[in-house]
A and B are shown apart, each in its own frame.
Chain A
Amino acid sequence: MAEKLLKKGNEAIALAAIRYGADGYFGYPITPQSEVMETLMEEMPWETTGMVVLQAESETSSINMLYGGACCGKKVMTSSSSPGISLMCEGLSYMAGAELPCLVVNVIRGGPGLGTIQPAQGDYFQAVKGGGHGDYKVIVLAPASVQEMYDFVGLSFDLAFKYRTPVMILSDGAIGQMMEKVELREPIKRLTDQEIAEKYGDWATVGKQPHRDGNIISSLSLEASEMEEINLRLQAKYQKIKENEVRYETLQCEDAEYMLVAFGSSARICESTVEMAREKGIKLGLLRPITLFPFPEEGIQKMLPQLKGVMSVELNAGQMVEDVKLAVNGKVPVEFYGRMGGSIFSPGEVFEAFSEKFNL
């Protein structure tokens, strides 16, 4: 039987990294996610799986260590929180441009600036729309439980290598800090250097092989026409991701007349709001995007014929609501409710806002 533990979301990330065969973790302490690296250091995976764990001098350095590690065809990851992720955005753009696989975990705190250490979802735009410079996307997964924090580490590595692209787990201080039961999955062995050379030797810097010239990993091209080709290739990849990797979950949507859209910890709160509404005889459902890029546009569109209104519920000033509106495209009214700066709404507050906005 699989081992079950009571763990914080951040601890689950660390345990999952080791058990999903990560080769390297490079990070810098920042609240509210420091338990990720602390747990890794306690576990000492270099003694067991051979995984490298290194505390870098900054988030800038962490993401560039990831860049180097990803060039090597290795499974590498980092974790941070909002201000740290801002520092990493340059590196993410480089890695997206150079088509490198990696995992970046953002345990969001309230912003802007140094902000606060309480949970928020104010980094949605940064994660989903780019963050760094240029036309790029990263796959963004939004866990809503400690179990998903664990499971999405494995999923992220699979997607990162499948598409050779950075993947971000967009969590927040609530999911990172709360303790829940987590079921540990069957461990996956790290690939040997030989296996990596065989699998990724055609592109990765594993050392020049006799049958080929040196591999070059770069995001640079001084020819505009060449750079446009690279961009077209990237966009084609993002299109493929949109077609194949959308993930979402619905709750009580079968007969719903109204629908909340919420991700991560907001979705957890909205589950209770749905119950409250149902007790009052209001047919309310919840759609929880699991992938924020690619966004579940079709999942929302499928619901529209039966809906009278949609409300996006977020711990920010209204970010995902823009994508909800694009998906709804004016067919039904779209409202927004949110709180900011580390303050969290209760299920009742969400219900009140919902009732008021739709005059129920």
Chain B
Amino acid sequence: MDVKDIIKPENLVYSKSKVLTDTVMHYCPGCSHGVVHKLLAEVIEEMDIQDKTIGVSPVGCAVFAYKYINIDWQQAAHGRAPALATATKRLYPDKYVVAYQGDGDLASIGTAEIIHACNRGENIVVIFINNAIYGMTGGQMAPTTLLDMKTATTPYGRSVELNGHPLKITELVAQLEGTCYVTRQSVHTPASARRTKRAIKKALENSAQKKGTSLIEVVSTCNSNWKLSPVKANDWMVENMFPFYPLGDIKDR
């Protein structure tokens, strides 16, 4: 029996979004990026906005997001995605503009850009992957690294004296008048992935309604740099990340 005899439309219970390319992802097994990419692609397909969505990819692991989601992409300099997204949205007000950033990109080197884009209330969507560590460069401390967490640049654990406190940038941008929707989600269970997908959809709808900036933080795992198995990384996240980065909507108006 050939595989084509099995995969018939009537037998299909699930298929990959048409907006995802067939390129094999470079993300480590267990990484949250792949799930978030899938959710974004599904929402783009469901809203039928593949031709109207422009993505801005960051510097970091998601730099190659453009290989996996088949839309027009701009690859930004480190931290500057909100600046590119700002200009793109202002020059194409009818397009959907999505800036996809990690924690080092958004909350460290790009702090000025995210704060000011949110404060201006740019009608863009920001997806913020917070796994509390630098992935691409090999596991250094991120602005969101938890206290006592060991990384390549905090080998004895993050200390307040040496490194200051983890930055809750999502709570910070929620204070700004320009943001309309600020939420913190995760993708470690099917239910949480469904909630994140709903959040992405809502953010894109906000953008169409010109309500202001929507920011979705996805508390994520980086099992490779956390040096844990995918399953243990999920457990560690629930146990350690969620108490400090509690899930749920922070602002919705």
Q: Are the chains A and B members of one assembly?
A: yes
Closest B residue by C-beta to A193? B92
Contact among A52, A64, A74, A205 with B72 in the assembled complex (CB-CB below 8 Å): A205
Q: Per-position contact with A for B13-45: 1 when CB-CB < 8 Å, else 0? A: 000000001000000000000000000000000
Q: Is B50 positioned at the interface, with any CB of A under 8 Å from its CB?
A: yes
Segment from B74-82, B152-160, B215-223, B234-242 that makes contact with A? B74-82
Q: Which of A81-96 contact B (CB under 8 A)?
A: 90-91, 94
Residues of A close to B73: CB separation below 8 A: 205, 214-218
Task: For chain A, give the interface size range.
Answer: 35 or more
Q: Is B112 positioned at the interface, with any CB of A under 8 Å from its CB?
A: yes
Contact among A68, A76, A209, A216 with B83 in the assembled complex (CB-CB below 8 Å): A68
Q: Is A122 positioned at the interface, with any CB of B under 8 Å from its CB?
A: no
Complexed CA–CA distance, A307 and B63 (Å): 56
Residues of A close to B70: CB separation below 8 A: 208, 213-214
Q: Is B204 positioned at the interface, with any CB of A under 8 Å from its CB?
A: no
Residues of B close to A193: CB separation below 8 A: 92
Q: Is A58 positioned at the interface, with any CB of B under 8 Å from its CB?
A: yes
Q: Per-position contact with B for A299-317: 1 when CB-CB < 8 Å, else 0? A: 0000000000000000000
B56 and A208 within 8 A (CB): no
A65 and B75 within 8 A (CB): no
Complexed CA–CA distance, A193 and B53 (Å): 15
Q: Which has the most chain B C-beta neighbours within 10 Å: A54, A61, A74?
A: A61
B80 and A67 within 8 A (CB): yes
B80 and A61 within 8 A (CB): yes
Q: Which of A73-126 contact B (CB under 8 A)?
A: 74, 76, 90-91, 94, 98
Complexed CA–CA distance, A68 and B85 (Å): 6
Complexed CA–CA distance, A54 and B117 (Å): 12
Q: Is B54 positioned at the interface, with any CB of A under 8 Å from its CB?
A: yes
Smallest CB separation, B200 vs chain A (Å): 18
Q: A68-B85, A207-B52 are in contact. Are A58 and B112 (CB under 8 A)?
A: yes
Q: Which of A180-226 contact B (CB under 8 A)?
A: 193, 204-210, 213-220
